[in-house]
Structure 1
Amino acid sequence: MQCSMACGGRACKYENPARWSDQEQAVKGLYSSWVTDNILAMSRPSTELIEKYNIIEQFQRCGVKTVINLQRPGEHASCGNPLEQESGFTYLPEAFMEAGIYFYNFGWKDYGVASLTTILDMVKVMTFALQEGRVAIHCHAGLGRTGVLIACYLVFATRMTADQAILFVRAKRPNAIQTRGQLLCVREFSQFLIPLRNVFATCEPKAHAVTLSQYLIRQRHLLHGYESRHLKHVPKLIHLVCKLLLDLAENRHVIQEEHLDIQSLSAEIEETVSQLASTQLDKELTRQDSSTSGSNPLHPGEHECDPLWKRRNVDCLQPLNQAKKRLSYSDSDLRRAVFVAEQGETPWSVPVKVPFNNKTAPQTNVNNAQSLQVELTQELLVRSTFTFSSLDGKGGCSSGFHKSRYPKEIQRSKTFSSGLSGDKKEEKQEVEEDEEELKALNYNCGRSTNLCGKSMWSSEDSDSSKAEKEFCNIKDISETIPHIVVQSELTLEARRTLAAKALADLNEFAGAEEIERKVEMWKKELNSQNGTWDRICGEKDPFILSSLMWSWIEQLKEPLLTKSDVDALAKNSTDPQEALKILEKGKYHTILCILNCVVCLQTIPADVEDHLLNRAIKAFTKMSSDSEGGSNVYSILKNIFKEILEHQRQYSKEETECSC
C-alpha cells in the first residue's frame, strides 16, 4: 500500500529514468545528484538499470570507489524492479564488489532515524571511504535517509551547523531530509558532537572537566580506522606530542600528504547557504508534528523541541529533557555511557541553551517553490561556523576531506553490513590488540612510523652534520641564539637533550610569554577546528609541545594518579613493571607512552632526567614536592619510573644489538 501510494508501486518514479531530466541524473539511469564533488546521492539501482545503463562503468569513470546502502533487505518489495532473492535488494552487491567497488550496508528504517552513535559510525565509515575515492549513497529514493547521512557527515567533517548542512544538502538535492524526525536527527547529531570534540575543557567556559577514562570514551567515539585501533587507551594529544618531540630530536621532517582542496567546497557551502534562509526548517517541524504521515517523530510534542532548535547563539550547556534521552544522555556522567552503549542505547549529548528569536520574514517564491523564511540574518547563519582557517590566518583542512594513506597492513573488506560482527570476537582479540598497542606506542627512534595515518615521516642522517658544527653545545648556543632557530644545526645528542629539557620544563631561553600565548592558541584551535591535528605537526618548538601536553594532563577532573593509585604502586614497588600494570589501562598506557618517549631520547643528563621526572609526577598527581605528603609520593613514583626507564633502555639496547 505504501509503495503504490507514495511512489507508484511497480511504476515507481524513483526507479524510472524516464521520469527525470538529464540534470536530475548525475549518473545516467539513476535519479541522482552530486551533493559535493565527492559524494553522490542517488535512488537505489537495480540489476536491470545497472546492465542497461552501464552503471558500474559510469561509477568507474567518475571515480566512485564505495557504495553505501541504507536500506534493509526486503524493503520496498513492491516498488519498481523485483528484489534479488539472494540479497533482498534490487541488485546484487557482488556486482559492485567484483568491479573493485567497496560496499557497505547500514539497515535504516524508511522515513526513520538511527541512533546518534550509529550515525557517528556511518560518518566515520564515510570519512574512511572518501580517502579511497568518491562515495555513492542510496536508500530508496535517495532523499530521506541519504540526505540525513550526508548532512551529518558535513556537520562532522566541516563543523558547519546542522541547519547549514540541511540547507546545503537540500540545495543540491531538492526535497532531501523529509520528515520532522529526520530534521531533528541532524540537529541532535550536531549537539551530540559538541562534548566529544572538546579537548581542553579549560578553554570552554561552559564545558565540564572530565577524567582520563571519560575522555577516552569520547575519543573512541570520534577516532576511526588506524587511530581507533592503536589509540584505544592513550589520548591522541599525548601520543602526538611524544611523536613530534622525537621527530624534532631525530631531525625527522614532516612530509604532509596532499589534501583535497576543500577551500572551494567551503566557499560553495557559504555561498549556497547565504542565499537561503533557515526558519522554514522550524516551521516544518511544526507542520509535520501535526501531520505525521509516514514519519516517526522522535519527540512527543512540539513544545519540547522548539526551544532547543529555535535558539542558536551558544550561551550555556544544559541536559536534554527526558524525551530526548531516547537519543542521548547528558554530559554529567560519562561513565554511565559505557554501560548504556553496552545495553544498545545511545550515549550522552549536550544541547545548547540560547535566546529565542521570534522574528520571521515574509514568504517569497523562488523557482515555483517556497523559499525558507529568514529568522536569522544571513551573516549570523554563515559567520564563525566554517573552520577552514586557523586563528593565525593559515588555511587548514578538515579531516573529513583529508586524503591520507594508511599502512598497508590495514586492509578493508570489500563488504560491510552492520550487525554482522559480534562482540565475542572482539573480546577474544583484546589481549592481542593490547600487545599491538604497546608495540605501536613503544617508539623506535631509528625508524619512522605513522600512527596518526595523516602524515608520513622521513628521516635525515642527523650525524652527517658538518664537522665544524659537532662541537656545538646546547648551553653555548642557548646564550646567543633562540633554540627554535638552531635545532637542525645541533648535534643529535644536543637535540635530544633539548627535547628532554622541554619535557622537564627547563626553559633556558627567553620568550616564556610567547610560549604561553601559542599554547593557548593551540588549545583553542584543537577545540574548534578539525584541521588542527594536521597543522600541529608543523609546530617546531618542543617547549610549546611539552607545555601543551602537561597542561592537558593537569586540566583533567581528577589526577592521572590518585592517592589510591600511588598507594597501590607503593605496595608493589618491588617489581615496577608489574606495579604499573595494576593501574587502569588508560593510565597505564598513557604513562608508558610518555616514559617510552623519554627512553627514545636515550642518554640524557642525570639532572635533566631528574627534573623531567619531577615535572611528570607534578602533572600526574597535581601535587608539588613540598606539599603535605608530597616528598613521599615523589620518592615512590620517581623510584618506580627510574627502574622502568632503565629496564626499557636495556630492552631497547638488546633489541638493537639483535637487529644488527
Structure 2
Amino acid sequence: MPDNRSYQYEELIDWDEEKRKKFKDVLPSAKYGAASELLRHSISEATACSMFCKGEKCKYEDVVHWKEEEMEIKGLYSNWITKNILAMARPNTFNVEKFKIIEQFQKCGIQSIINLQLPGEHASCGHPLEPGGFSYNQQQFMDNGIFFYNFGWDDYGVGSLSSILDMVKVMQFAVSEGKVAIHCHAGLGRTGVLIACYLVFVNRMDPSEVIHYIRHRRPPSIQTKSQITYIQGFAEYLRPLRVVFSSNDKDDPATRDFTLTQFLTRQNHILHGFEARELKFVPKIIYECCNKLLRLVGRGKDRHHQHDTYNDLVETAPTAFRNLRQANQLEKDKNGALPSDKKLLKGKSISLESFTALRLETRESKTSLGLTNMPSYYNGDYSGSDSVPSSASVTPSLSRRDVNSERGNQFVGELTPDGVGTAMAQTEYDDEIVDKVESFKNCMNSDCRGYEKLQQVVDPQLLAKLMWDWLDQLKEPVLHAQDLPLMLEYCKDPTEGLKLISKGARRTVKLIFRTVARLEPLDEDVERSVVQRILSTLTHQNMVVEMDALMSPDKSILKRTSSDMGLMRSTVAGRMLYFFMRLLYLMQEELQERQEQHAARGQESDSGQRKTSKRDSSHNRSSKSKDLQD
C-alpha cells in the first residue's frame, strides 16, 4: 500500500457555537495599554524581569503560582491550544529533571519544541541559564528523540510577515511529525502570535476569532496592540497569495488578475519543502489537474512518499532560519571556529542549524511536509494516490456528487485515453459542468482542502475546463505573441525553441504536453484537436488547423472558428501546430525509451546481471532526453 500520509490540513478547534457567537464581531483588545507597552520596550531586561516577572522568583517558572489545570504538563505553566499544539512557559533544567518533563512529553506524543527566545534572554529570571544561552539544555530533549527549533524574536516584539510565514511553514512540518510544544518566556505573547498565525494559515480562521480562541484556551495570550495588529496584518498578507482564480473585483485588490510569473511568485511564498521545489516553475492547479487526468486512465502511479530534508526547509523557508545562522556566528565569534559535530552531540553549542540537521538525518523513515507526496513530472513519474480523506463541502453549490465519494472510486481507471483526450479538446460545455467548475473555483480560493477535493473529481471535462479556465484568466498568455516568431524558427528542434521563453512558461508548456504524451496512443483526430485546444489557450488566440502534423508547415490549411479571442494568422498557426506536434512526438519517444530502460533494469535485476553496454546505453539515452525534462 502506498504511503498516503500528508499534511493535516486543519487543526481541530475546541470552540463550540455558543462561545463563537459570544465573540462574533468583538474586536480583541490589548492586555497592556500603550504606556505600559512603551515602558516594557524602553527599560532594561533586568529591570523588566524584576518588575514584571519577579526576577529569581519568576512566576512563570515556579509551579507554586499555578493551578493544576494551568499546568497540563506538570511542572510547566502550559495549556493545549489544539490537540497537537501546546503553549508553555519556558522550561528550566531544574523542573525538567524534577518533574520528568521529557518523559511527560514522550508520553503525550510531543516530538518537537519550538523556542522563540533569543540566546541569553531573561537571564535574571528563575534558575541560571545553561551554557547554550537558554534555561534548559536542548540537547537533553534531542537525545530523547525530540526535535528542537529556535526562531528568536525580541520580547513583546513581532517579526516581518515573510519571516512569520516561513516559521509557520516549518511549524506545519513539525506538526506533521507529531505534537509540538511552543514557548517564549511566559508562553503568552510571542507564543500566542505564532500559534495564531499558524491557525490563520492552516484553518483560515478570522484573526479576531483566532485571538479570542487562543485566549479562551490560555488567558491572557497575545498581549500587546502591536501583536494583535500583526496577526491581522498576517491574514491580509495571505489573502492575495491564496487566490487561485481571480474575480477581478475592482474593490478588492487581492482578487485582481495576474500573470503566470506573478502567480508563481505568490505560489512560492505559500508552498514549502519538496512541493515548493517541485512546483517552483509550475502552477499547482495545472499540475494537479494534469496528474488527476492521467490517474483517471491508470497512467499514473501511486504516490511515493517524498521525505523533506533539512535543506528543503532552509531553502523554501529561509527567513525562519536566519537567527540560526546568527546563533552559529555567535558561537564562531566566541570560540574562533564553528563547533564540530562531536561538540554538538555533547550539547556545547548553540548552533541550532546543526542541531536540527543532525536530528532530521536520523528520521528518514518519518513522513514529510505538506502535500509533498508529489510525483516528479520532470522525471517522467506521474504518481498519485486516490485515497483522500473526505471533508465537508465549503459552498452549498459544491455537492457531494461533484467529488469522488468512496463509492465513486471504482470509476477511476475505467476511462479511456481517447475519452480523456476528447474532454481536454472540448470548447463548449453544458450548464452542469459550467456550474460545477465555478463552484470549484470558489472552493480553490476559500477552502484549505480545495486541492484535496480536486483529487476526488472523476469527471475529465470538469478537470480540463478548470485547467483551461485558469490559463484563459491570465493577464497575459503563457506564449506571448512576441516570442512566437523566434521560437518557431526551431520547428525541427522544439526543445531548443522553448528555451527562448521564460522558465515558468517552458515548464508549464512541457507539463501539459507531457500529459498528452502519457495518454498516447490517441486517435489522430483527438490528438490534433487536443493540441489545437492547448495552443489556443496558451496563446489566448483562436486556432483550428487541419493538416498532416508532420507535413511542412507551409502546406497547412487553416479553418477558423468565431471566438472572443483574437484569430491567429494561418502561417503562424500552421507552424505552431507543426512545432508542438513535433514536441509531442519527441516526448512520446522519450517516454518509450524510459519504459524500455525500466524493463531492461527489471530484467537485469531479476537475473542479477548488469552489463556495461546497457549502462552506457542508458546513460546516452538519459543525456538525449535531458532537454525534454528541463
- CA deviation profile, 1:80-135 (whole Å, cap 9, x unmatched): 111111x2111122111111111111111110111111111111112221112111
Judging changes above 3 Å, is the alpha-carbon distance between structure 1 residues 552 and 491 closer, same or farther for their aligned structure 2 residues?
closer
Judging changes above 3 Å, is the alpha-carbon distance between structure 1 residues 490 and 226 closer, same or farther for their aligned structure 2 residues?
closer
Judging changes above 3 Å, is the alpha-carbon distance between structure 1 residues 59 and 640 closer, same or farther for their aligned structure 2 residues?
same
| Structure 1, 185-194 or 650-659: larger mean CA deviation | 650-659
> Of residues 591, 600, 607 in structure 2, which corresponds to 1:652?
591
Separation in 1, partners of 2:148, 2:60? 21
Superposition RMSD on alpha carbons, in Å? 3.1
Separation in 1, partners of 2:187, 2:288? 40
Judging changes above 3 Å, is the alpha-carbon distance between structure 1 residues 107 and 96 closer, same or farther for their aligned structure 2 residues?
same
Quote the residue 1:227 is aligned against: 275
User: Which amino acid is the alignment partner of residue 199 of structure 1?
Assistant: V
> Of residues 632, 635, 640 in structure 1, which corresponds to 2:574?
635
| Structure 1, 101-110 or 560-569: larger mean CA deviation | 560-569
- CA deviation profile, 1:263-306 (whole Å, cap 9, x unmatched): xxxxxxxxxxxxxxxxxxxxxxxxxxxxxxxxxxxxxxxxxxxx
Quote the residue 1:43 is aligned against: 89
Other structure's SS at 1:131 match: helix
Instruction: Answer yes or no: is the 8 Å Cα contact 1:74–1:83 preserved in 2.
Output: yes
Other structure's SS at 1:26 match: coil
Kindly indicate whether residue 184 of structure 2 is the aligned counterpart of residue 123 of structure 1: no
Shift of 1:253: 9.9
Kindly indicate whether residue 377 of structure 2 is the aligned counterpart of residue 441 of structure 1: yes
Instruction: Answer yes or no: is the 8 Å Cα contact 1:617–1:634 preserved in 2.
Output: no
Other structure's SS at 2:532 match: helix
Separation in 2, partners of 1:535, 1:58? 38
> Of residues 581, 605, 608 in structure 1, which corresponds to 2:499?
581
Instruction: Answer yes or no: is the 8 Å Cα contact 1:82–1:90 preserved in 2.
Output: yes
Kindly indicate whether residue 207 of structure 2 is the aligned counterpart of residue 162 of structure 1: yes
> Of residues 96, 115, 124 in structure 2, which corresponds to 1:69?
115
Judging changes above 3 Å, is the alpha-carbon distance between structure 1 residues 415 and 54 closer, same or farther for their aligned structure 2 residues?
farther
> Of residues 530, 534, 547 in structure 1, which corresponds to 2:448?
530
Quote the residue 2:49 is aligned against: 3
Quote the residue 1:13 is aligned against: 59
Other structure's SS at 2:159 match: coil
Shift of 1:636: 2.8
Instruction: Answer yes or no: is the 8 Å Cα contact 1:35–1:169 preserved in 2.
Output: yes
How do residues 391-402 of structure 1 correspond to structure 2 at under 5 angstroms?
Answer: none
| Structure 1, 29-38 or 629-638: larger mean CA deviation | 629-638
- CA deviation profile, 1:535-579 (whole Å, cap 9, x unmatched): 111100000000000000010111111112212312343421121
Separation in 1, partners of 2:235, 2:196? 10
Shift of 1:520: 0.5
Instruction: Answer yes or no: is the 8 Å Cα contact 2:81–2:217 preserved in 1.
Output: yes
Other structure's SS at 1:82 match: coil
User: Which amino acid is the alignment partner of residue 55 of structure 1?
Assistant: I
Separation in 1, partners of 2:589, 2:312? 44
Shift of 1:642: 1.2
| Structure 1, 4-13 or 238-247: larger mean CA deviation | 4-13
Separation in 1, partners of 2:384, 2:125? 51
Separation in 1, partners of 2:449, 2:235? 18
User: Which amino acid is the alignment partner of residue 576 of structure 1?
Assistant: P
Separation in 2, partners of 1:438, 1:579? 28
- CA deviation profile, 1:345-394 (whole Å, cap 9, x unmatched): xxxxxxxxxxxxxxxxxxxxxxxxxxxxxxxxxxxxxxxxxxxxxxxxxx
Kindly indicate whether residue 148 of structure 2 is the aligned counterpart of residue 209 of structure 1: no
- Structure 2: where are the runs of 5+ without partners? 1-46, 315-319, 327-371, 390-404, 544-559, 561-565, 600-630
Separation in 1, partners of 2:325, 2:498? 33
Aligned residues: 463
Instruction: Answer yes or no: is the 8 Å Cα contact 2:113–2:149 preserved in 1.
Output: yes
Kindly indicate whether residue 481 of structure 2 is the aligned counterpart of residue 563 of structure 1: yes
User: Which amino acid is the alignment partner of residue 504 of structure 1?
Assistant: A
Judging changes above 3 Å, is the alpha-carbon distance between structure 1 residues 489 and 17 closer, same or farther for their aligned structure 2 residues?
closer
Quote the residue 1:502 is aligned against: 423
User: Which amino acid is the alignment partner of residue 71 of structure 2?
Assistant: Q
Separation in 2, partners of 1:44, 1:62? 18
Shift of 1:51: 1.0
Instruction: Answer yes or no: is the 8 Å Cα contact 2:304–2:375 preserved in 1.
Output: no
Kindly indicate whether residue 293 of structure 2 is the aligned counterpart of residue 245 of structure 1: yes
Quote the residue 2:236 is aligned against: 191
Quote the residue 1:149 is aligned against: 194
Judging changes above 3 Å, is the alpha-carbon distance between structure 1 residues 155 and 517 closer, same or farther for their aligned structure 2 residues?
same
> Of residues 515, 519, 522 in structure 1, which corresponds to 2:433?
515
Separation in 2, partners of 1:217, 1:406? 27
Judging changes above 3 Å, is the alpha-carbon distance between structure 1 residues 102 and 498 closer, same or farther for their aligned structure 2 residues?
same
Separation in 2, partners of 1:6, 1:487? 60
Instruction: Answer yes or no: is the 8 Å Cα contact 1:212–1:560 preserved in 2.
Output: yes
Instruction: Answer yes or no: is the 8 Å Cα contact 2:188–2:222 preserved in 1.
Output: yes
User: Which amino acid is the alignment partner of residue 34 of structure 1?
Assistant: W
> Of residues 412, 418, 443 in structure 1, which corresponds to 2:321?
418
Kindly indicate whether residue 503 of structure 2 is the aligned counterpart of residue 600 of structure 1: no
Separation in 2, partners of 1:406, 1:198? 28
User: Which amino acid is the alignment partner of residue 182 of structure 1?
Assistant: Q
User: Which amino acid is the alignment partner of residue 35 of structure 1?
Assistant: I
Instruction: Answer yes or no: is the 8 Å Cα contact 2:117–2:185 preserved in 1.
Output: yes
Separation in 1, partners of 2:515, 2:109? 42
Judging changes above 3 Å, is the alpha-carbon distance between structure 1 residues 577 and 421 closer, same or farther for their aligned structure 2 residues?
farther
Instruction: Answer yes or no: is the 8 Å Cα contact 2:289–2:464 preserved in 1.
Output: yes
Other structure's SS at 1:136 match: strand
User: Which amino acid is the alignment partner of residue 190 of structure 2?
Assistant: R
How do residues 426-437 of structure 1 correspond to structure 2 at under 5 angstroms?
Answer: none
| Structure 1, 227-236 or 540-549: larger mean CA deviation | 227-236
Other structure's SS at 2:383 match: coil
Separation in 1, partners of 2:288, 2:71? 45
Instruction: Answer yes or no: is the 8 Å Cα contact 1:444–1:600 preserved in 2.
Output: no
> Of residues 141, 145, 155 in structure 2, which corresponds to 1:100?
145
| Structure 1, 173-182 or 223-232: larger mean CA deviation | 223-232
Other structure's SS at 1:103 match: strand
Other structure's SS at 1:178 match: coil
Separation in 2, partners of 1:437, 1:561? 30
User: Which amino acid is the alignment partner of residue 225 of structure 2?
Assistant: R
Quote the residue 1:471 is aligned against: none
Instruction: Answer yes or no: is the 8 Å Cα contact 1:502–1:543 preserved in 2.
Output: yes
Judging changes above 3 Å, is the alpha-carbon distance between structure 1 residues 487 and 64 closer, same or farther for their aligned structure 2 residues?
closer
